[in-house]
């Protein structure tokens, strides 16, 4: 396969160094990826700055039209994008509950189209005999986007589309683990977008650090781990960049005593094992009332043991490998700690296939707060199930960690569930669901899960500055 190229100022650009991108299902090389130099980044930022003048001057309806066309040309290449996603990320083409590469790809199209149809209108704050006060919103300039490896296409779209719709231009860096899908997306986008409006540069953390400290970038939108988010916040201070930080979480789900286990077990399993657990807002700690605990453990075990692990290109694969060796090692370490504490492994817990980064779906009961598997985000296919007696203890457990991305409450009594939900310290709470993000509903974290929101009108506004006009009559 030919090496991929950077996308800068409407052109495909070669660079001096390349690195291999591996397929996590068998460690084979998917393709060679360019390693952008500082000079490449400077060219991309300069092109984005130049393009900003004419792109921001377009009417929002003209930018909308181009973004909707972009969705159409991407849709025409559906099979190519899904295959590339599966090869570099590992997720199955289809997967259990249709939550594989097809899900990410369809979500991408839906997100582009829904977001492109948002509007930014002036708001009249006051209009009386003497004064009229109008609030306008202006684009910021060049937005730097840095993304992780779990949803290479979808998370990048979450950043890029609202930034462009609002009139900004973008320099984006996908994760070095999964850079290919976005290099190809950037290439396809050049058929529609003017040169310099969307630039894609690839490389590791050093390149991300150069982006976050670049003096000609006005905002960073980052999705990834909390330590990297903190490093970005420090290096972005030079020119007071605006920041949206979507960081790690460790979402708790609380199952109350009145649930019908059969009705919710599949939904809970999918919420925890979506993308093999490598999902920011997946359910990562399950607190279950003692009266339904054994029943819930049995129902989840039945589902987990029916899953087929394998290469995502095989049609009957339910769950693929983890994306990388480092994440596999984190999962193994958390499992080891749980074993040493005498927790019960209801299924999984041992690596059986070493040709890729595989770990079987694993459920762990008889475990408590304080175990590494409960306290540290696993970001993998292993779920601790913790028994509780008093719902006050479950709420305290859910809130005791330093992160707060999402959470859920499961009950047939929606009023009781909402009372519990309102006390959970996190950016989003679902009742009888988990991890279901939508382009119309603002999403973001509290505490060490970051700040700022994506999606909806609030998310779009984060790509603008407020421009207030007072008109004295």
Q: Which of residues 388-447 bind ligand NAD (CB under 6 A)?
A: 405, 445
Nearer to ligand NAD, 310 or 321 (CB): 321
Proportion of the chain in helix, strand, coil states, percent, rounded to 5? 40, 25, 40
Q: Write the binding mask 130 to 149 for ligand NAD: x where contact by CB under 6 A, - elsewhere.
A: ----------------xxxx
Stretch that binds ligand NAD, among 224-232, 283-291, 336-344, 345-353 (CB under 6 A): 224-232
3-state secondary structure of 465: strand
Applying CB under 6 A, does 162 fall inside the site for ligand NAD?
Answer: no
Applying CB under 6 A, among 46, 231, 441, 446 the residue interacting with ligand NAD is: 231
* Structure tokens belonging to residue 213: 């400290």
Instruction: Choose, from 88, 104, 176, 246, the residue flagged as catalytic.
Output: 246
3-state secondary structure of 143: strand
Given a contact cutoff of 8 angstroms between Cβ atoms, the answer to whether 323 and 178 are in contact is: yes
* Structure tokens belonging to residue 327: 């994440």
Applying CB under 6 A, among 63, 64, 82, 173 the residue interacting with ligand NAD is: 173
Q: Which of residues 248-277 bind ligand NAD (CB under 6 A)?
A: 248-249
State in angstroms the smallest separation of the CB of 282 from ligand NAD: 9
User: How far lies 167's CA from each of 11, 37, 335, 423, in Å?
Assistant: 21, 27, 47, 38
Nearer to ligand NAD, 140 or 220 (CB): 220
State in angstroms the smallest separation of the CB of 322 from ligand NAD: 11
Strands 219-223 and 242-246: parallel
Applying CB under 6 A, among 168, 175, 271, 378 the residue interacting with ligand NAD is: 175
**Alpha carbon distance 431, 429 (integer Å):** 7
Q: Which of residues 323-382 bind ligand NAD (CB under 6 A)?
A: 377, 379
**Alpha carbon distance 82, 100 (integer Å):** 9
Strands 169-173 and 142-146: parallel
Instruction: Choose, from 33, 88, 280, 297, the residue flagged as catalytic.
Output: 280
Q: Of 469, 468, 470, 439, which is closest to residue 455 (Cα–Cα)?
A: 439
Q: Write the binding mask 179 to 208 for ligand NAD: x where contact by CB under 6 A, - elsewhere.
A: -------------------------xx--x
Nearer to ligand NAD, 167 or 186 (CB): 186
Nearer to ligand NAD, 45 or 232 (CB): 232
Nearer to ligand NAD, 211 or 363 (CB): 211
Q: Is 280 a catalytic residue?
A: yes
State in angstroms the smallest separation of the CB of 158 from ligand NAD: 8
As a dihedral over the C-alpha atoms of residue 202, residue 24, residue 283, residue 83, rounded to 10 degrees, the angle is 70
What are the phi and psi torsion angles at 472 (to 5°)? -85, 125
Residue 275 backbone class (left: φ over 0; alpha: ψ -120 to 50; beta: rest): left
Applying CB under 6 A, among 15, 86, 89, 150 the residue interacting with ligand NAD is: 150
State in angstroms the smallest separation of the CB of 139 from ligand NAD: 23
State in angstroms the smallest separation of the CB of 296 from ligand NAD: 25
- Token pair 């909308």 in the structure block, residue: 64
Applying CB under 6 A, among 209, 347, 376, 446 the residue interacting with ligand NAD is: 209
Site size toward ligand NAD (CB under 6 A) is 28
* Structure tokens belonging to residue 181: 């899908």
State in angstroms the smallest separation of the CB of 312 from ligand NAD: 19
Burial readout 389-406 (b: 16 or more C-beta within 10 A, e: otherwise): eebeebbebbeebebbbb
What are the phi and psi torsion angles at 31 (to 5°)? -170, 170
**Alpha carbon distance 190, 169 (integer Å):** 13
In 176-251, the DSSP E strands lie at 198-200, 219-223, 242-246
Nearer to ligand NAD, 108 or 411 (CB): 108
Q: Is 246 a catalytic residue?
A: yes
Q: Of 41, 53, 219, which is closest to residue 144 (Cα–Cα)?
A: 219
Q: Which residue is nearest to ligand NAD (CB)?
A: 208
Given a contact cutoff of 8 angstroms between Cβ atoms, the answer to whether 260 and 412 are in contact is: yes
Applying CB under 6 A, does 21 fall inside the site for ligand NAD?
Answer: no
Q: Write the binding mask 270 to 309 for ligand NAD: x where contact by CB under 6 A, - elsewhere.
A: ----------x-----------------------------
Residues of the shown chain interacting with ligand NAD in the complex, contacts defined by CB under 6 A = 146-150, 173, 175-176, 204-205, 208-209, 212, 223-225, 228, 231-232, 246-249, 280, 377, 379, 405, 445
Residues known to be catalytic: 246, 280
């Amino acid at each position: 396969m030919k090496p991929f190229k950077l996308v800068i100022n409407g052109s495909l650009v070669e660079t001096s160094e390349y690195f291999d991108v591996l397929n996590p299902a068998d460690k084979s090389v998917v393709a060679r990826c360019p390693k952008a130099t500082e000079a490449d980044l400077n060219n991309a930022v300069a092109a984005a700055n130049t393009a900003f003048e004419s792109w921001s001057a377009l009417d929002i309806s003209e930018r909308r039209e181009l973004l909707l066309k972009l969705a159409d040309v991407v849709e025409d290449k559906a099979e190519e994008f899904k295959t590339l996603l599966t090869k570099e990320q590992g997720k199955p083409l289809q997967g259990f509950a249709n939550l594989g590469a097809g899900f990410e790809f369809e979500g991408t199209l839906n997100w582009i189209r829904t977001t492109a149809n948002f509007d930014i209108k002036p708001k009249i704050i006051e209009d009386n005999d003497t004064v009229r006060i109008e609030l306008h919103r202006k684009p910021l300039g060049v937005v730097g986007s840095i993304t992780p490896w779990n949803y290479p296409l979808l998370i990048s779209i979450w950043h890029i589309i609202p930034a462009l719709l609002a009139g900004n231009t973008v320099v984006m860096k996908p994760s070095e683990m999964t850079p290919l899908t976005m290099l190809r997306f950037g290439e396809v986008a050049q058929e529609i977008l003017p040169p310099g409006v969307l630039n894609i540069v690839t490389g590791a953390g050093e390149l991300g650090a150069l982006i976050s400290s670049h003096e000609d970038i006005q905002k960073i939108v980052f999705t990834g781990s909390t330590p990297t988010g903190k490093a970005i916040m420090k290096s972005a201070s030079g020119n007071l960049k605006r920041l949206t930080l979507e960081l790690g979480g460790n979402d708790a789900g609380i199952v109350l005593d009145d649930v019908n286990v059969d009705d919710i077990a599949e939904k809970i399993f999918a919420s925890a094992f979506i993308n093999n657990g490598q999902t920011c807002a997946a359910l990562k700690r399950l607190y279950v009332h003692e009266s339904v605990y054994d029943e819930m453990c049995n129902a989840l075990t039945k589902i987990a043991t029916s899953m087929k692990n394998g290469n995502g290109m095989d049609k009957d694969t339910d769950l693929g490998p983890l994306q990388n060796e480092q994440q596999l090692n984190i999962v193994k370490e958390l499992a080891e700690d749980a074993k040493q504490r005498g927790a019960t492994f209801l299924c999984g817990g041992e690596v059986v296939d070493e040709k890729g980064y595989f770990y079987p779906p694993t459920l762990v009961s008889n475990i408590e707060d304080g175990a590494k598997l409960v306290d540290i985000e696993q970001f993998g296919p292993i779920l601790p199930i913790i028994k509780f007696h008093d719902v006050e203890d479950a709420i305290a457990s859910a809130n005791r960690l330093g992160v707060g991305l999402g959470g859920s409450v499961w009950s047939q009594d929606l009023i009781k569930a909402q009372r519990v939900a309102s006390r959970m310290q996190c950016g989003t709470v679902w009742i009888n669901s988990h991890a279901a993000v939508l382009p119309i509903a603002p999403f973001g974290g509290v505490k060490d899960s970051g700040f700022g929101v994506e999606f909806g009108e609030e998310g779009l506004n984060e790509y603008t500055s407020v421009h207030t006009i007072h008109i004295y009559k």
